[in-house]
Amino acid sequence: MRKRKKSEDWRKQSREYGGSIRERSGKIYARIQYFGEDGKRHDKEREARNRTHARELIKEMRAELGSHGETALDSHRMTFRDLAAIYEKQKLVPAVIVDGRKVAGLRSYRSARRFLVPLVAHFGRKQIRTITHLDLEEFKLIRLQTPVTIGTNGADSADQKGTRETSKRRPPMKPRKQSSRQRSITAVNRELEMLRTIFSFAEHSDWIAKSPFKKGASLISKASERQRDRILTLDEEARLLAACSGRRAHLRPLVITALGTGMRRGELLKLVWPDVDFTLDLIRVRATNTKTERPRTIGMTPRVREALLALRDVAPPSHEGLVFGIKDTVKNGFLSALHEAGIEDFRFHDCRHTAITRMIQAGIPATETMKISGHTQFVTFARYVNVNEQAARKGAERLADDIRQSGANQSRELVH
């Protein structure tokens, strides 16, 4: 009698929650019924640990149905690997340019795809609804404790392997020598930013009710990142250009232009001859090639002009193609040149830091330098203005001169 009464109580509670609890093959399931957008009746079931959990699942499914529709119910078994594949297919695609503006996709979609490799490796089998803020913290700690293994080609061997497996692109050269270094906070932050974007995509698609990034303290701290402040000295520049000879001769005009204009590597490699004006000594950077999607004009120094004229003399008669004729990367050759020149802790992007710093030291106002470099935010621009030993000594000398001048003026005033 008591068992029968208890069973009736369960059915009554199930009806109150708008669903039913089913027991089948020794397992308990929470079930709801609803009419979908197609006007037909649908059933949804989820396995529960016990009847109490089943009632909670019924509440949860009803709430998801009311707030996010049928899509949320269908995604409860979606794994992170499934989500990453959908995101890659829809978002990490080549940029679509219309009227000179990017309307979809990414210019740097290949590098963005590389961030997916460690994310899928860690979260791949987990259902996206079960990933918690604590899981994100664990991932961050593991990545910070995982050293970067570098081959002679300068690439992270583990990430390269994963990239080959996921994108099926041409495999890179097999590294002949490997070394390791501490993984930077900046690199881990880029991975976390990608992960946050993917979960936001899932939230907007109603596959999850709330991103796990919103369920705890912020995991991405820009203040903890080490800001690059490396600039090239004049002596190092001379050694680097000397090393850009022989089979690396194609790098010399590229490095000269980078140091003389502050252009980004992507802007340099995409530069075509119609955008180089030798009459006015100007280089026009198209909006489609810039990070900010804004065109800009940069003046050529005599050394840059000479280097580009030498390139044009050997260019095809049409003069419509790429200025530097490089369609791939310059990373391997540039690293070799640095090694031969005995220059450490320098990257190609540091040429941009060097150029911008030299412009400021030459007395060009910050507002004009920002126009030349293509920066739209002063905070970002300020990171590129660095002080080397030579500039620091000059600053001290100027301060000393000002103090001496002020002292001399005061002495003259006392005499008079």
pLDDT value at position 377? Answer: 72
**Mean predicted confidence (pLDDT) in 89-105:** 80
Expressed as residue numbers, the domain containing 212 is: 82-146+183-224
The per-residue pLDDT for range 228-264, each reduced to its tens digit, is 778 899 999 999 999 999 999 999 999 999 999 999 9
Last residue of a domain, one of 20, 49, 71: 71
Q: Tell me the sheet residues that pair with 178.
A: 151
Tell me the CA distances in angstroms from 231 to 20, 184, 358, one per residue in order.
Answer: 68, 20, 9
pLDDT bucket at 88, cuts 50 / 70 / 90: very high
In this structure, the answer to whether residues 360 and 299 fall within a common structural domain is yes
Is residue 256 situated within a structural domain? yes
pLDDT tens for each residue of 133-165: 999 999 999 999 999 886 544 445 444 444 444
In a domain, 76, yes or no: no
pLDDT score of 391: 56
Kindly state the average pLDDT of the residues 381-386. 66
What band does 340 get if pLDDT is binned at 50, 70 and 90?
A: very high
> What CATH number should be reported for the domain holding residue 353?
1.10.443.10
Q: Residue 299's beta-bridge partner residues? A: 282
Please tell me the predicted confidence (pLDDT) of residue 229: 77
Q: Tell me what pLDDT residue 170 has.
A: 47
Same domain flag for 188 and 265: no
The residues that bridge with 19 in the sheet, in sequence order, are 32
Q: What pLDDT score does 94 carry? A: 86
| Within a domain: 173 | no
Residue 167 counted as domain residue: no
Least confident window among 64-73, 74-83, 358-367, 396-405 = 396-405
Summarize the confidence of residues 111-138 as an average pLDDT: 94
Instruction: Report residue 73 as tokens.
Output: 């119910």
Whole-number average pLDDT of the chain: 80
Shared-domain flag, residues 19 and 88: no
**For 220-377, where are the E strands, in sequence order?**
276-277, 282-285, 296-299
| 130 falls within a domain | yes
Same domain, 283 and 379: yes
In a shared domain, residues 287 and 351:
yes
Specify whether 67 is located in the same domain as 195. no
Dihedral sign for Cα atoms in the order 366, 367, 373, 379? positive
With a cut of 80, say whether residue 387 has pLDDT above it: no
Q: What pLDDT is stored for residue 109 in this prediction?
A: 82
**Is 65 in the same domain as 96?**
no
Quick one: 378 and 239 in the same domain? yes
13 or 404, which is more confident: 404
Distance CA 328, CA 193 (A): 26
What's the mean pLDDT in 88-94?
A: 90
Q: What is the pLDDT of residue 141?
A: 95
Q: What's the confidence (pLDDT) of residue 19?
A: 83
* Same domain? 337 vs 411: no
Residue 175 pLDDT greater than 70, yes or no:
no
Is 88 among the domain residues? yes
First to last CA, the chain: 117
User: Does residue 361 fall inside a structural domain?
Assistant: yes
In a domain, 165, yes or no: no
Per-residue confidence (pLDDT) for residue 254, from 0 to 100: 95
Among 41-50, 220-229, 294-303, 349-358, the least confident range: 220-229
User: Helix, strand, or coil here: 299?
Assistant: strand
Q: Tell me, yes or no, whether 256 and 342 share the same domain.
A: yes
Looking at the structure, tell me whether residues 109 and 12 fall in a common domain.
no
pLDDT at residue 381 is higher than 80: no
Task: Indicate the number of domains in the chain.
Answer: 4
What's the mean pLDDT in 16-33? 80
Q: Are residues 196 and 339 in the same domain?
A: no
Per residue in 313-338, pLDDT (tens digit) is 888 877 778 999 887 778 889 999 99
| 303: nearest Cα among 252, 240, 355, 260 | 260
Confidence of residue 205 (pLDDT cuts 50, 70, 90): confident
